[in-house]
Structure 1
Amino acid sequence: MVASTLGQTSPASPDEFAGREQLRASSAEFRKEVIEITDGVFAAVGYSASNVTLIQGEKGSIIVDTSANPVDAKAIVDAFGNRFVRPVLAIIYTHNHPDHSGGASVFAGSDNPEIYSHQTLLESGPEFGRGPRDGGDAFGTKLADHLFINAGTKLEYGRVTPHTREGFLPPTRTFRGESETIELAGVQMQLIHTPGESPENTAIWIAGKGVLVPGDDFLKSYPNLSPIRGLKLRPPEKWIASLDKMLALDATYMVQGHMRPILGRDEVRKALTDYRDGIKTVLDQTLAGIKQGKTPDELVQEVKLSPELSKSPYLQEYYGTVAWAVRGIYADYVGWFDGNATNLNPLPPGERARKMLEMAGGLDKVIARAREAIEAKEFQWAAEMIDHVLAVDPANMAAKEIKAQALTELGERQINANARNYYLTTAQYLLKRERQA
């Protein structure tokens, strides 16, 4: 059970916290290890927010993705040991995210390697985000140590080493279109444009070794199609098409950008198939519901994975969720309006809250009812009631404490790291009496 300034709720059953414990168990995916994938291919897992792949060539090394920063990159070079041989002849970026491209300068050293990417990487603008809380709170960068578990697809991001781009080096060779076949240090490989988690995502296919490096188009989690940190929908149709491209390769080994690699042809096929089907069924159900005139709130209650897919180890909701995907798809296809005419020009939040509080008998009664809701484990309802209080009296510490406990209780019941981190960080801000930037 969760302690708070208000006391404790009634005793909890173990099942209430099953999601949290499953998330905690998923941290085993990030244990530090250099894994030999097959002859001449190694993956450094757990040393940074993303994996680094080393491909040994005839007279040097090829690096795919470069970790989050120079500090992590140096640790990975050390971990590779004598498997890492200079010169580095090429660096390949699967995509532009800082956790994959921030350590390039360390791997490049003075070797002056070619740096490969899709042309879209150079054309992509910065992520827009949502004000000062655009990513750190979802990643738990300010969360107290005893509350932090992980960041969903990585052990941590920005808590130990700031996620700067100080080690980023711009691409020197890019390709356009669907794919390009290159030979580096005697290793032939195909660079395949696979937009999905990012527009520029590039999969690397080494046919002679049966190795696929898909970037972030595959993660051992339901995909984060609509990130809460304030990004556009990651187009599911393109993502599905990219997964179909990768399935057609019939890879034996898959070294994705996060978590431990998938080894064995049958398991790689299952992983990619489940991932594709998990996106497609949510897209199809959501679009069918939109055509029936259903609202986002209705669709979130109705759109589900099949029982088989919901049990897949590759679709647990550590990073993205089905509900967030539904909301993102709805907004992307038909915009913000949910079809309810009342919502065309709603009352301002403060005015609505004053009227609701008056109807409920006043601020003090609502606070008392929210306390009762906490005791009854109706944590979402408690938070929603208190939002009316804070809309008219934002400095009310009794209300802040109740909301902080409601969010803490909700956070402690999450399997999703982004949700957990955001709930618990918001609770911290409330108890500090002011929101931190």
Structure 2
Amino acid sequence: MTTLSTPPADEFAGREQLRASSAEFRREVIKIAEGVFAAVGYSASNVTLIQGDGGSIIVDTAANPVDAKAIVEAFGDRLQRPVRAIVYTHNHPDHSGGATIFAGADGPDIYSHRTLVESGPEFGRGPRDGGDAFGTKLPDALFINAGTQLEYGRVTPHTREGFLAPTRTFSGESETIDVAGVRMELIHTPGESPENTAVWLADRGVLIPGDDVLKSYPNLSPIRGLKLRPPERWIASLDRMLALNADAMVQGHMRPVLGRDEVRKALTDYRDGIRTVLDQTLAGIRQGRTPDELVQEVRLSPELAKSPYLQEYYGSVAWAVRGIYADYVGWFDGNATNLDPLSPAQRAARMIDMAGGPDKMLARAGQAVETGDFQWAAELADCLLAVDPADAAARRVKARALTELGERQVNATARNYYLTTAQFLSKDET
């Protein structure tokens, strides 16, 4: 029997793998090709510098002016003024919050796809019980990273004060521009965001794909409450980028991928990692499987599961399955019992009665924690909290269970959400 005092040696393997992944965010200006440099680890996202004739081009601008200033300093004399153009791969604040610093008084053109201008901010969902996928308020001792970035707004918040609106947009599938003697193809590649734009430097063999490729399983269905990111469009975008045969790739996060064979592997694994989960989920839906059944059945192949580009640091196969199910066939799982179920409080009251009362339910939840059955402990505590949200003992048990679950995660957003919820549940404890 597993106990808290004697955990198996590999019980925290996921946490240690996540901790090791932080090496991806070490600060460095990396030469990608002649005249192309990437600043990695200075902000929540990478910034790419392209040297031209009598000036520079910047692709993405970091999360805020503070980070952008640090990157300007790191680039040093590699950054040749004036900055002639800024390109946004997409509108997420960690990529677009430091534009004013790079622009300075240079007055650069600012390029994006038209969709960036037309789309509003992501809707998202408010936090429940303090849950935060980015762990912005976790104490340093508990925080590891944010999955595809070292930290998301923990030190310097993401703001829009450094954002500059695009001055030149394109509406089609691609547009080729020439800035400071640098020929670039801007390719609309919807995937992680609907406006995502890849930058292709054909004469230097460099692809800048925005957030369509990460060294993590893609976050198709984020737990912070966003719609499913359409997998078919994402797959098509990856196919389009594969056809370029790039020699180097500077993703929006984590360290660049260098070498034609390695770039092809990254793009291929990413595409196949999305496609196989989509295909398996749709097949299961047609067979009448429920979401709860599908998350137990849908898997990456052994080869894909070992890919360094598909580790579940940020996205999750199980979350993708649930997002695909809801997007394709809605909330109903096909079980008639679930057409008009009891309310959580009604169901919980009956469960507590079956257990012999709240004291016995609490005792069972506590026992589950002690024996390492953390998920069951949290679910039993939820029964008590559905009837009495202020039940201090149940809150303590649930906080302990979530803390133990969080410490065993390889997925940073899951870890952060477990631990911030546990922190919220414990905040009134003395």
Structure 2 residue aligned with 1:43: 38
Structure 2 residue aligned with 1:176: 171
Asked whether the equivalents of residues 130 and 420 of structure 2 are also in contact (C-alpha less than 8 Å), the reply is no
Asked whether the equivalents of residues 104 and 169 of structure 1 are also in contact (C-alpha less than 8 Å), the reply is yes
Equivalent residue for 1:167, pick from 162, 166, 182? 162
User: Which SS does the other structure have where 2:133 is aligned?
Assistant: helix
Structure 2 residue aligned with 1:286: 281
Structure 2 residue aligned with 1:346: 341
State whether structure 2 residue 182 is matched by structure 1 residue 187. yes
State whether structure 2 residue 68 is matched by structure 1 residue 73. yes
Q: Which runs of 5+ in 1 are unaligned?
A: 1-7
Q: 1:322 to 1:45 in 2, by over 3 A?
A: same
Structure 2 residue aligned with 1:231: 226
- Supply the distance in 2 between the matched residues of 1:133 and 1:87 (Cα, whole angstroms): 46
State whether structure 2 residue 107 is matched by structure 1 residue 117. no
Structure 2 residue aligned with 1:20: 15
Structure 2 residue aligned with 1:4: none
Structure 1 residue aligned with 2:264: 269
State whether structure 2 residue 306 is matched by structure 1 residue 311. yes
User: Which SS does the other structure have where 1:16 is aligned?
Assistant: coil
Q: Could you list the per-position Cα deviations for residues 162-194 of structure 1 after superposition, in whole angstroms to 9, with x for gaps in the alignment?
A: 111110000000001110011110010100000
Q: 1:283 to 1:203 in 2, by over 3 A?
A: same
Asked whether the equivalents of residues 136 and 158 of structure 1 are also in contact (C-alpha less than 8 Å), the reply is no
- Supply the distance in 1 between the matched residues of 2:83 and 2:252 (Cα, whole angstroms): 20
Q: 1:170 to 1:83 in 2, by over 3 A?
A: same
Equivalent residues in 2 for 1:52-131, closer than 5 Å: 52-131=47-126
Asked whether the equivalents of residues 134 and 230 of structure 1 are also in contact (C-alpha less than 8 Å), the reply is no
User: Which SS does the other structure have where 2:424 is aligned?
Assistant: helix
Asked whether the equivalents of residues 408 and 423 of structure 1 are also in contact (C-alpha less than 8 Å), the reply is yes
- Supply the distance in 2 between the matched residues of 1:395 and 1:136 (Cα, whole angstroms): 17
Asked whether the equivalents of residues 136 and 142 of structure 1 are also in contact (C-alpha less than 8 Å), the reply is no
Cα deviation, residue 133, structure 1: 5.8
Cα deviation, residue 396, structure 1: 1.3
- Supply the distance in 2 between the matched residues of 1:337 and 1:158 (Cα, whole angstroms): 37
More displaced 10-residue stretch of structure 1: 414-423 or 133-142:
133-142
Cα deviation, residue 433, structure 1: 2.8
Cα deviation, residue 235, structure 1: 0.3
Alignment: residue pair count: 428
Equivalent residues in 2 for 1:29-40, closer than 5 Å: 29-40=24-35
- Supply the distance in 2 between the matched residues of 1:121 and 1:173 (Cα, whole angstroms): 11
Percent identical residues: 80
- Supply the distance in 1 between the matched residues of 2:277 and 2:345 (Cα, whole angstroms): 35
Asked whether the equivalents of residues 129 and 424 of structure 2 are also in contact (C-alpha less than 8 Å), the reply is no
Runs of 4+ residues deviating >3 angstroms: 132-136
- Supply the distance in 2 between the matched residues of 1:267 and 1:346 (Cα, whole angstroms): 50
State whether structure 2 residue 142 is matched by structure 1 residue 153. no
- Supply the distance in 1 between the matched residues of 2:99 and 2:130 (Cα, whole angstroms): 23
Equivalent residue for 2:385, pick from 384, 387, 390? 390
State whether structure 2 residue 368 is matched by structure 1 residue 373. yes
Q: 1:133 to 1:404 in 2, by over 3 A?
A: closer
State whether structure 2 residue 231 is matched by structure 1 residue 220. no
Structure 2 residue aligned with 1:328: 323
Cα deviation, residue 378, structure 1: 0.6
Asked whether the equivalents of residues 45 and 51 of structure 1 are also in contact (C-alpha less than 8 Å), the reply is yes
Letter in 1 for 2:34: D
User: Which SS does the other structure have where 1:131 is aligned?
Assistant: coil
Structure 1 residue aligned with 2:401: 406
- Supply the distance in 2 between the matched residues of 1:351 and 1:90 (Cα, whole angstroms): 60
Q: 1:205 to 1:320 in 2, by over 3 A?
A: same
User: Which SS does the other structure have where 1:338 is aligned?
Assistant: coil
- Supply the distance in 1 between the matched residues of 2:297 and 2:110 (Cα, whole angstroms): 46
Letter in 2 for 1:47: Y
Asked whether the equivalents of residues 353 and 392 of structure 1 are also in contact (C-alpha less than 8 Å), the reply is yes
Asked whether the equivalents of residues 131 and 418 of structure 2 are also in contact (C-alpha less than 8 Å), the reply is no
Q: Could you list the per-position Cα deviations for residues 42-67 of structure 1 after superposition, in whole angstroms to 9, with x for gaps in the alignment?
A: 00000000000000000100000000
State whether structure 2 residue 130 is matched by structure 1 residue 139. no
User: Which SS does the other structure have where 1:14 is aligned?
Assistant: coil
Q: Which runs of 5+ in 2 are unaligned?
A: none
Letter in 2 for 1:90: A
- Supply the distance in 2 between the matched residues of 1:360 and 1:199 (Cα, whole angstroms): 49
Equivalent residue for 1:203, pick from 186, 198, 210? 198
- Supply the distance in 2 between the matched residues of 1:432 and 1:132 (Cα, whole angstroms): 16
Q: Could you list the per-position Cα deviations for residues 390-415 of structure 1 after superposition, in whole angstroms to 9, with x for gaps in the alignment?
A: 11111111111110010000000000
